[in-house]
């Protein structure tokens, strides 16, 4: 039986279902409790931070003075137009955003720690703050960092010479200004860590709710200037990340510092308010995009100007370039753009720092380019599907304007399939009937590709000081015949323990239940990068496949000796190694290899018969693609949007576990719907945050998310050795554009369209107020 | 510190513990009773990760104090399975991929356990209405709804039309 | 997000609770369902020194129709109303309202009287009580008094309840068969506090509206009655024309609060919509 392609229930689930999962807060019970004192001001000079007069016994206060010798968190990009600013673990002189950790207190219980934090005497001289990206680059704006007098931390620019010519000769120029408001990834488990000092070894074990344990270890060791070998980082069960848990946050080095300094266990469990104001934000961008079109709708050139509000500091290790530079590199998406010009700037403001969030800039650039297509079609009187078909890349590989290679995909097929599934003619009839009754239905399409499995070359192209990319797997067989695969990647809900076991099981002729995927522990796994950027299945999966093939070859060699056959004739199947009719259980081979090396001689001079292998994989990247269709009804009186139908045609190549793949699409689409309609972090002008609770920041519930219909295509590309493409982010990339297009379609009789997300009921009403629908 | 000695009955077992009155029931279950299956996602009553059953009603364990639960019958996620054998609802979550990261799962399981134990039939509108009490960030709710729907069908509690 | 420390009492009788309130005065706070108070304490926006938990006072756990009133005791949970507690239009209204209060687990703890005492301007029960002309029964350790709902809501989260008083009971008048009720609220997400809501009561006779009340919630510092809007309905035949006029008057009868969810113009838009829809539901 072949395991890949099966909807195998997940191996991870039983413990989680019994409430026996092990999350950071579960492990932290018993540790001393750390609470951070956070800045009430968006900008200011620290005059003093003092303990209350009667600090209870057994408590601690740590301020910037105590940790002044520690290094700053300073991610780098080797670009002349990047200001490598540093973020102190605790600031000594200035605060830069509301919620910035400015001191830490330690007490026996979380309640007492919070009591104490409330009593710390903080004296800060507030200074002028700037929270809006346009205000931050206006002349005379307050300067956040001396290294960056104009508040532009990073800038990318390119302008192909043919661009100006194309615009000069265009039949139609479509120009569009877009705004995407700030969001928080909002994993259900907030951040947290527990650092424990081992007096016997002098090492610290940090258990943290993170996506990149190896990187966290490197980052902390760098900041603390401590031996990296003295730090073990564990990512236990992690309650979602979506990018937010990639970064090295100041809280983590402080916990390790406390554990070393005080030779004990210290835990910080972030609360929801802290998470909303002080973890990481995303998607705060403004774009101006211009497209030069021929009369038939052919796109001749694209010119984009991208502003991304990256907050007060640059996230480590990915840097604050992640949003603007991704937008610059990937704006053309699945479309042929013969001439391209782009400028992208990362603007620093007195707000919570930006970090990657599922899709990073792509939900916004897809919103941009898909609105552009719709508007151009309308202006030119061309069917928008036909206009897209004319411009979509259809022969592969295709080299994009920014030098990326689009591998085999199904852009046009996915769109046509989606249009058929959505019954476009039938919808138009229903829409017309509804409009006559004063009801506003709309349909919206979103065609996009999703770069997944970014290897080293993709990140190196960004000139990052730390270049993620490869993944390594150490695979070995126990004497009892189970397979252990130790991976550097670090899943947190994506089901990699199951899908990788399926892949490996097929290569070894075993069952997934006999495969253990070991992850999330820097002591037990090879150096690797983690789970982000839709890379787990492609890169860790590719490495597992290579490693399993190498291990299979060793098993065949062992079987050849035992069965007295030639290795090439050995077939691994159903837990046995077969040579014709003769067979030996793989478990028996494992036992013999470990305990009876005398049988084998020592074929490779290693003094044993080794059933262990290491493999790595580092692809250039592969593009999955999809077309989303949203059908909505807009309540013109209240501005409320109800999603009536949602269809996804997804092509992520070979699906190892279609059930898990569907789950990724579901979750992504729900977050995309949240971006489109619900979630917005709002700052007051003084830099205070007005959405510090889940009653104000609105992740949607089961009542708002519609049934999500999924149709799969499976284009197999040679850019991924497993044939699998990533799809973790696609749902969130496609949904905002599809919904914005659907609302715009619904509101066409009013002559308005959606250029700002989230399209809240208040914003929609503001567009409609004073307007009457055309008959 | 101002503490009380109380006894909590959780999943049929008495826990004699000492707590501060201000300690929420959720924290009490986790820290004093060692039952860490009840998770805290917001501590202000919105996310529902800490949903448990107290005297046959679903409640937010972050919005009760531990001292308030003395003498009540408390049920948490740890009480659903019989040893390693999952309850029909838990099994349905497993079969239908009703969880990804698993953090919100205990709250959804307790909410849905209550829903399935009610005498009334469940239809799609009621299912969505009740399950809208809790937040999940991974699944888009699709397979949580499916898992509860399938479990309801298995228990003869599902109806396609709205209940009268 | 852990509450500040407090002293905790769980009296078994109303008298004991009132004695504790008298003793602790401003520092004492009644804990009933706790579904609003405890989150506020988690954010440390409330730091009561003493909590007096009334959940063990069995005599406050009642809800019954007596003569012309529905008597709702201090421990009556929202969930009690979800399956109609009374036959007829009023029971249906209360069920509809209850079903829209927050979420199931909140409704199994939160209480009707607690909502009235907390006086959140977006509370469904507050708007309902105002529209229907409820009477509050409040007691301190020496006496009991009744407060008409018109005198109850004073400002944001502030009522006529004194620091030493407990709202022991709320009474809703049971009206005759000629009354119809409607409720509609608008929120962005299921179970959230409404950005605007309307509760309406209409007495129909001879094909026209004879009496009317229109309550609005979530639009100012307290729930309000849209009196001009209600008056405009008198003598009118129920229908879109009348609803439109009333909705327009409702939309302009108040000073809207501005918050992150709604500008003043948008709140007026919403009031226009929810009033019209509540009226439609009343005669549906």
Rounded Cα–Cα distance for residues A483 and A228 (Å): 29
Partners of A698 on chain C (C-beta within 8 Å) are: 188-189, 192
* pLDDT over 50 at B164, yes or no: no
B27/chain C closest Cα distance in angstroms: 10
Rounded Cα–Cα distance for residues A74 and A320 (Å): 11
SS (HEC) of B30-80: HHHCCCCCCCCCCCCCCCCCCEEEECCEEEEHHHCEHHHHCCCEEECHHHC
C3 touches chain A (CB under 8 A): yes
**Which tokens in the block code for residue A670?**
């729900």
Q: Name residues whose C-beta falls within 8 Å of residue A140's C-beta, 6 or more positions apart in sequence.
A: none
Say if residues C29 and C51 touch (Cβ distance below 8 Å).
yes
Q: Which residue of C has its CA nearest to B55?
A: C108
Q: Which residue of C has its CA nearest to B65?
A: C38
Asked if C260 and A682 come within 8 Å (Cβ–Cβ), the reply is: yes
Partners of C104 on chain B (C-beta within 8 Å) are: 58, 111, 114, 129-130, 133
**Omega before A397 cis (within 30°)?**
yes
**Which tokens in the block code for residue B55?**
């005297």
A33/chain C closest Cα distance in angstroms: 12
* pLDDT over 60 at A644, yes or no: yes
Cβ-based neighbour number of residue B160 at 10 Å: 7
Rounded Cα–Cα distance for residues A508 and A45 (Å): 62
Partners of B23 on chain A (C-beta within 8 Å) are: 111
Nearest to C105 among B4, B21, B48 (CB): B48
Say if residues A487 and A544 touch (Cβ distance below 8 Å).
yes
Partners of B74 on chain C (C-beta within 8 Å) are: none
C188 touches chain A (CB under 8 A): yes
Average pLDDT over residues A494-514: 97
Best mutation target among B20, B65, B120 (most C Cβ atoms within 10 Å) is B65
C193 touches chain A (CB under 8 A): yes
Q: Name residues whose C-beta falls within 8 Å of residue A199's C-beta, 6 or more positions apart in sequence.
A: A263
Residues of chain C above pLDDT 90, percent: 96
Q: What is the pLDDT of residues A262-297, one digit of tens each?
A: 999 999 999 999 999 999 999 999 999 999 999 999
SS (HEC) of A122-160: EEEEECCCCCCHHHHCCCCCCCCCCCCCCCEEEEEEEEC
Q: Give the residue among A184, A151, A154, A180 at the shortest CA–CA distance from A282.
A: A184
Say if residues B89 and B80 touch (Cβ distance below 8 Å).
yes
C149/chain A closest Cα distance in angstroms: 28
Strands (E), A453-521: 471-477, 483-487, 515-518
Q: Give the residue among A247, A172, A257, A258 at the shortest CA–CA distance from A216.
A: A247
B3 touches chain C (CB under 8 A): no
* pLDDT over 80 at A604, yes or no: no
Asked if C263 and A696 come within 8 Å (Cβ–Cβ), the reply is: no
* pLDDT over 60 at A603, yes or no: no
- DSSP secondary structure string for all residues of C149-169: GGGTEEETTEES--TT-EEEE
Q: Which residues pair with A49 in a beta bridge?
A: A122
What is the predicted pLDDT for the residue at A457? 85
- DSSP secondary structure string for all residues of A547-595: HHHHHHHHHHHHHHHHHTS-GGG-EEETTEEEETTEEEEHHHHHHHHHH
Q: Do domains A14-129+190-269 and A470-617 have the same CATH topology?
A: no
**Helix, coil or strand: residue A731:** helix
Partners of C273 on chain A (C-beta within 8 Å) are: 635, 637-638
Say if residues C61 and C75 touch (Cβ distance below 8 Å).
yes
Say if residues A491 and A500 touch (Cβ distance below 8 Å).
no
**DSSP class of B82:** B
**Which tokens in the block code for residue A645?**
């139908």
Q: Say yes or no: C71 and C169 in one domain.
A: yes
**Which tokens in the block code for residue A538?**
């492609």
For domain B4-77, the CATH class is alpha beta
Q: Say yes or no: C135 and C222 in one domain.
A: no
- DSSP secondary structure string for all residues of chain C: --PPP-EEE--SSHHHHHHHHHHHGGGEEEESS-TTHHHHHHTTS---SEEEE-TT-GGG--EEEETTEEEEETT-BGGGGTS-SSSHHHHHHHHHHHHTSS-HHHHTT-BHHHHHHHT-TT-HHHHHHHHHT-EEEEE-SS-EEEEEGGGTEEETTEES--TT-EEEEEEEE---TTEEEEEEEE-SSTTSPPSEEEEEEEEEETTEEEEEEEEEESSSSS-EE-HHHHHHHTTPPSSHHHHHHHHHHHHTSS----BTTB-HHHHHHHHHHHHHHHHHHHH-
Partners of B20 on chain C (C-beta within 8 Å) are: 5
> Any idea what the Cα angle at residue A677 is, between residues A676 and A683, rounded to 5°?
95
Average pLDDT over residues A87-106: 98
Partners of C3 on chain B (C-beta within 8 Å) are: 22, 24
Quote the distance between the C-alpha of residue B30 and its chain's center. 14
Structural domain of residue C152, as residue ranges? 67-173
* Residue A605: pLDDT band with limits 50, 70, 90: low
A416 touches chain C (CB under 8 A): no
> Any idea what the Cα angle at residue A302 is, between residues A299 and A307, rounded to 5°?
150
In which residue are the tokens 């980052």 written? Answer: A219
Q: Which fold has domain A14-129+190-269?
A: Aldehyde Oxidoreductase; domain 3 (3.90.1170)
Q: What is the pLDDT of residues A506-537, one digit of tens each?
A: 999 999 999 999 999 999 999 998 888 788 89
Which long-range contacts link B160-163 to residues 24+ away (Cβ below 8 Å)? B160/B123, B160/B124, B161/B123, B162/B123, B162/B125, B162/B126, B163/B120, B163/B121, B163/B122, B163/B123, B163/B126
Q: Give the residue among B115, B117, B118, B119 at the shortest CA–CA distance from B128.
A: B115
Answer yes or no: is C96 within a domain.
Answer: yes
Say if residues A187 and A502 touch (Cβ distance below 8 Å).
no
What is the predicted pLDDT for the residue at A455? 87
A14/chain B closest Cα distance in angstroms: 7
* Chains with ≥3 CB–CB distances under 8 Å to A: B, C
Residues of chain A above pLDDT 90, percent: 93
Answer yes or no: is C2 within a domain.
Answer: no
* Residue C88: pLDDT band with limits 50, 70, 90: very high
Q: Which strands form A440-452's sheet, in the order they lie side by side? A: A440-452, A622-634, A641-651, A708-713
Nearest to A663 among B23, B77, B143 (CB): B143
Q: What is the pLDDT of residues C111-159, one digit of tens each?
A: 999 999 999 999 999 999 999 999 999 999 999 999 999 999 999 999 9
Rounded Cα–Cα distance for residues A650 and A708 (Å): 12
Q: Say yes or no: C205 and C124 in one domain.
A: no
* pLDDT over 90 at B1, yes or no: no
Rounded Cα–Cα distance for residues A453 and A717 (Å): 13
Answer yes or no: is C114 within a domain.
Answer: yes
A703 touches chain C (CB under 8 A): yes
* pLDDT over 70 at B163, yes or no: no
Asked if B64 and C38 come within 8 Å (Cβ–Cβ), the reply is: yes
Helix orientation angle between A362-380 and A322-330, rounded to the nearest 10 degrees: 40
Structural domain total, chain C: 3
Partners of C36 on chain A (C-beta within 8 Å) are: none
Answer yes or no: is C62 within a domain.
Answer: no
Phi/psi for C31 (5° steps) reads -110, 115
What is the predicted pLDDT for the residue at C125? 98
* pLDDT over 90 at A20, yes or no: yes
Quote the distance between the C-alpha of residue A244 and its chain's center. 7
Partners of A19 on chain B (C-beta within 8 Å) are: 35-38, 76-78, 80, 106
Domain definitions of chain A by residue range: 14-129+190-269, 285-456+620-768, 470-617
* Chains with ≥3 CB–CB distances under 8 Å to B: A, C
What's the half-sphere exposure (Cβ side, CA atoms, 13 Å) at C203? Answer: 11
Q: Which fold has domain A285-456+620-768?
A: Aldehyde Oxidoreductase; domain 4 (3.30.365)
For domain A470-617, the CATH class is alpha beta
What is the predicted pLDDT for the residue at A531? 83
In which residue are the tokens 């597992």 written? Answer: A544
A701 touches chain C (CB under 8 A): yes
Say if residues B12 and B53 touch (Cβ distance below 8 Å).
no
B133 touches chain C (CB under 8 A): yes
Q: Is the dihedral of CA A209, A210, A211, A215 positive or negative?
A: negative
Rounded Cα–Cα distance for residues A759 and A757 (Å): 5
- Count how many pairs of residues, chain A against chain C, have C-beta atoms within 8 Å: 67
Q: Which residue of C has its CA nearest to B71?
A: C56
A474/chain B closest Cα distance in angstroms: 25
> Any idea what the Cα angle at residue B114 is, between residues B112 and B115, rounded to 5°?
60
DSSP H or E run through B23: none
Q: Which of residues 135-154 of B touch A (CB under 8 A)?
A: 135-145
C265 touches chain A (CB under 8 A): yes
* pLDDT over 60 at C107, yes or no: yes
Nearest to B143 among A666, A669, A731 (CB): A666
Phi/psi for B68 (5° steps) reads -75, -15
Cβ-based neighbour number of residue C145 at 10 Å: 12
Q: Which residue of B has its CA nearest to A669?
A: B140
Q: Which of residues 46-75 of C touch B (CB under 8 A)?
A: 51, 53, 55
Q: Say yes or no: C149 and C230 in one domain.
A: no
What is the predicted pLDDT for the residue at C25? 84
Which of C67-94 are b and which e, b meaning 16 or more Cβ less than 10 Å from the residue's Cβ?
Answer: eebbbbbbbbbbbbbbebbbeebbbbbb
Average pLDDT over residues A187-213: 98
Best mutation target among B52, B131, B138 (most A Cβ atoms within 10 Å) is B138
- Count how many pairs of residues, chain B against chain C, have C-beta atoms within 8 Å: 85
Average pLDDT over residues B109-116: 98
**DSSP class of A35:** E
Q: Which residues pair with C166 in a beta bridge?
A: C139
Q: Which strands form A265-269's sheet, in the order they lie side by side? A: A60-63, A101-107, A32-38, A265-269, A192-198, A203-208, A231-234
B19 touches chain A (CB under 8 A): no
Q: Give the residue among B66, B64, B65, B90 at the shortest CA–CA distance from B77.
A: B90
Nearest to B44 among C6, C42, C53 (CB): C42
* pLDDT over 70 at C231, yes or no: yes
What is the predicted pLDDT for the residue at A607? 63
pLDDT, averaged across chain B: 96
* Residue A651: pLDDT band with limits 50, 70, 90: very high
Cβ-based neighbour number of residue A651 at 10 Å: 27
What is the length of chain A?
775
Q: What is the pLDDT of residues A732-771, one digit of tens each?
A: 999 999 999 999 999 999 999 999 999 999 999 999 999 9
* pLDDT over 90 at A137, yes or no: yes
Q: Which residue of A has its CA nearest to C193?
A: A695
Asked if B137 and A695 come within 8 Å (Cβ–Cβ), the reply is: no
CATH 1.10.150.120 matches B88-154:
yes
**C-alpha R_g of chain B:** 16
Q: Which residue of B has its CA nearest to C102?
A: B133
Asked if B133 and C3 come within 8 Å (Cβ–Cβ), the reply is: no
Domain definitions of chain B by residue range: 4-77, 88-154
B22 touches chain C (CB under 8 A): yes
Identify the domain boundary among C173, C204, C224. C173
Asked if A188 and B47 come within 8 Å (Cβ–Cβ), the reply is: yes
Say if residues A189 and A766 touch (Cβ distance below 8 Å).
no
B48/chain C closest Cα distance in angstroms: 8
């Amino acid at each position: 039986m072949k395991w890949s392609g099966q909807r195998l229930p997940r191996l991870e689930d039983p413990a989680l279902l019994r409430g026996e999962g092990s999350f950071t807060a579960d492990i932290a019970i018993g540790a001393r409790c750390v609470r951070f004192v956070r800045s009430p001001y968006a900008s200011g000079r620290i005059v003093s931070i003092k303990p209350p007069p009667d600090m209870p016994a057994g408590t601690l206060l740590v301020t910037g003075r105590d940790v002044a010798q520690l290094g700053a968190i300073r991610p780098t990009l080797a670009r002349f137009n990047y200001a490598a600013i540093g973020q102190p673990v605790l600031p000594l002189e200035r605060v830069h955003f509301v919620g910035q950790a400015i001191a830490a207190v330690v007490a026996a219980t979380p309640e007492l720690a919070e009591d104490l934090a409330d009593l710390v005497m903080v004296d800060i001289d507030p200074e002028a703050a700037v929270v809006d990206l346009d205000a931050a680059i206006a002349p005379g704006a307050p300067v956040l960092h001396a290294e960056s007098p104009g508040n532009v931390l990073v800038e990318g620019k390119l302008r192909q010479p043919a661009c100006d010519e194309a615009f000069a000769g265009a039949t139609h120029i479509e120009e569009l200004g877009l705004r995407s408001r700030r969001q928080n990834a909002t994993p259900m488990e907030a951040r947290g860590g527990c650092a424990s000092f081992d007096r016997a070894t002098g090492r610290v074990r940090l258990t943290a709710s993170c996506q990149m344990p190896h990187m966290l270890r490197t980052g902390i060791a760098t900041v603390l200037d401590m031996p990296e070998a003295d730090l073990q980082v564990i990512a236990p069960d992690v309650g979602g990340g979506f990018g937010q848990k990639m970064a090295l946050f100041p809280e983590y080095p402080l916990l390790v510092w406390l554990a070393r300094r005080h030779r004990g266990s210290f835990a910080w469990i972030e609360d929801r308010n802290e998470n909303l104001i002080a973890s990481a934000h995303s998607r705060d961008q403004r774009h101006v995009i211009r497209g030069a079109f021929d009369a038939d709708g052919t796109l001749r050139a694209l010119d984009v100007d991208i502003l991304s509000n990256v907050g007060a500091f640059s996230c480590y290790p990915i840097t604050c370039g992640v949003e603007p530079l991704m937008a610059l590199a990937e704006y053309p998406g699945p479309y042929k753009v013969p001439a391209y010009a782009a400028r992208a700037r990362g603007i620093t403001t007195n707000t919570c720092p930006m970090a990657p969030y599922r899709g990073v800039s792509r939900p916004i650039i897809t919103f941009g380019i898909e609105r552009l297509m719709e508007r151009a079609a309308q202006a030119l009187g061309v069917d928008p599907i036909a206009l897209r078909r004319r411009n979509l890349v259809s022969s592969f590989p295709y080299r994009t304007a920014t030098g990326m290679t689009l591998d085999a995909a199904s852009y046009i097929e996915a769109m046509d399939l989606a249009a058929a599934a959505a019954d476009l003619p039938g919808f138009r009839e229903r829409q017309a009937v509804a409009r006559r009754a004063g009801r506003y239905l709309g349909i919206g399409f979103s065609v996009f590709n999703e770069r997944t499995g970014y290897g080293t070359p993709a990140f190196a192209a960004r000139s990052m000081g730390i270049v993620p990319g490869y993944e390594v797997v150490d695979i070995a067989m126990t004497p009892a015949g189970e397979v252990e695969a130790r991976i550097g990647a670090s899943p947190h809900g994506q089901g990699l323990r199951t899908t990788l076991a399926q892949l490996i099981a097929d290569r070894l002729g075993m069952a997934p239940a006999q495969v253990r995927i070991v992850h999330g522990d820097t002591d037990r796994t090879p150096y690797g990068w983690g789970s982000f950027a839709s890379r787990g299945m492609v890169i860790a999966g590719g490495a597992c496949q290579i490693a399993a093939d190498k291990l299979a070859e060793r098993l065949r060699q062992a079987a050849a000796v035992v069965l007295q056959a030639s290795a090439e004739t050995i077939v691994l199947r159903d837990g046995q190694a077969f040579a014709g009719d003769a067979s030996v259980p793989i478990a028996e081979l494992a036992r013999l290899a470990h305990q009876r090396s005398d049988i084998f001689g020592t074929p490779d001079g290693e003094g044993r018969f080794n059933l262990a292998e290491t493999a790595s994989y580092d692809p250039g990247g592969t593009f999955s693609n999809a077309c989303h269709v949203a059908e909505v009804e807009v309540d013109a009186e209240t501005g409320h949007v109800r999603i009536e139908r949602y269809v996804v045609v997804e092509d992520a190549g070979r699906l190892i576990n279609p059930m898990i793949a569907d789950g990724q699409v579901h979750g992504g689409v729900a977050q995309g719907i949240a971006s489109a309609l619900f979630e917005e972090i709002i700052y007051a002008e003084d830099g205070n945050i007005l959405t510090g609770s889940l009653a104000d920041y609105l992740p949607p519930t089961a009542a708002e998310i519609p049934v999500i219909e999924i149709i799969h295509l499976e284009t197999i590309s040679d850019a991924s050795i497993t044939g699998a493409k990533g799809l973790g982010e696609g749902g969130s990339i496609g949904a905002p554009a599809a919904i914005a297009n659907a609302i715009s379609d619904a509101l066409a009789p009013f002559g308005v369209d959606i250029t700002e997300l989230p399209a809240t009921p208040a914003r929609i009403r503001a567009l409609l107020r004073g307007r009457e629908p055309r008959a | 510190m101002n503490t009380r000695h109380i006894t909590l009955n959780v999943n049929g077992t008495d826990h004699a513990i000492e707590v501060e009155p201000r300690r929420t029931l959720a924290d009490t279950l986790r820290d004093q009773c060692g039952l860490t299956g009840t998770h805290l996602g917001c501590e202000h009553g919105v996310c529902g990760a800490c949903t448990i059953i107290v005297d046959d009603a679903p409640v937010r364990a972050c919005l009760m104090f531990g001292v308030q639960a003395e003498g009540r019958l408390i049920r948490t996620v740890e009480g659903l399975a019989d040893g390693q054998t999952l309850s029909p609802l838990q099994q349905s979550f497993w079969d239908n991929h009703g969880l990804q990261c698993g953090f919100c799962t205990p709250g959804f399981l307790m909410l849905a356990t209550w829903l399935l134990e009610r005498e009334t039939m469940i239809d799609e509108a009621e299912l969505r209405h009740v399950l809208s009490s809790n937040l999940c960030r991974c699944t888009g709710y699709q397979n949580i709804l499916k898992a509860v729907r399938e479990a309801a069908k298995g228990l003869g509690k599902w109806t396609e039309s709205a209940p009268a | 997000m852990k509450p500040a420390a407090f002293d905790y009492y769980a009296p078994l009788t109303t008298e004991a609770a009132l004695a504790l309130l008298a003793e602790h005065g401003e520092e004492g706070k009644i804990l009933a369902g706790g579904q609003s108070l405890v989150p506020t304490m988690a954010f440390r926006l409330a730091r009561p020194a003493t909590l007096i938990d009334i959940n063990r006072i069995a005599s406050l756990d009642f809800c019954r129709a007596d003569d012309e009133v529905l008597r709702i005791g201090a421990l009556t949970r929202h969930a009690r109303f979800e399956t109609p507690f009374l036959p007829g239009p009023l029971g249906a209204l209360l069920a509809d309202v209850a079903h829209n209060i927050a979420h199931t687990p909140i409704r199994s703890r939160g209480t009707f009287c607690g909502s009235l005492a907390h006086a959140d301007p977006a509370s469904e029960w507050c708007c309902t009580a105002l529209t229907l002309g409820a009477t509050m029964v409040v007691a301190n350790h020496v006496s009991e008094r009744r407060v008409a709902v018109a005198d109850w809501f004073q400002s944001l989260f502030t009522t006529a309840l004194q620091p030493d008083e407990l709202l022991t009971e709320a009474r809703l008048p049971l009206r005759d068969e000629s009354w119809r009720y409607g409720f509609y609220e608008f929120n962005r997400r299921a179970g959230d506090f409404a950005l605007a809501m309307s509760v309406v009561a209409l007495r129909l006779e001879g094909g026209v509206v004879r009496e009317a009340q229109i309550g609005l919630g979530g639009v100012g510092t307290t729930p309000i009655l849209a009196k001009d809007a209600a008056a405009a309905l008198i003598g009118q035949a129920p229908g879109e024309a009348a609803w439109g006029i009333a909705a327009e008057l409702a939309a302009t009868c108040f000073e809207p609060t501005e918050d992150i969810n709604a500008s003043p113009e948008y709140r007026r838009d919403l009031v226009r919509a929810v009033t019209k829809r509540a009226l439609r539901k009343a005669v549906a």
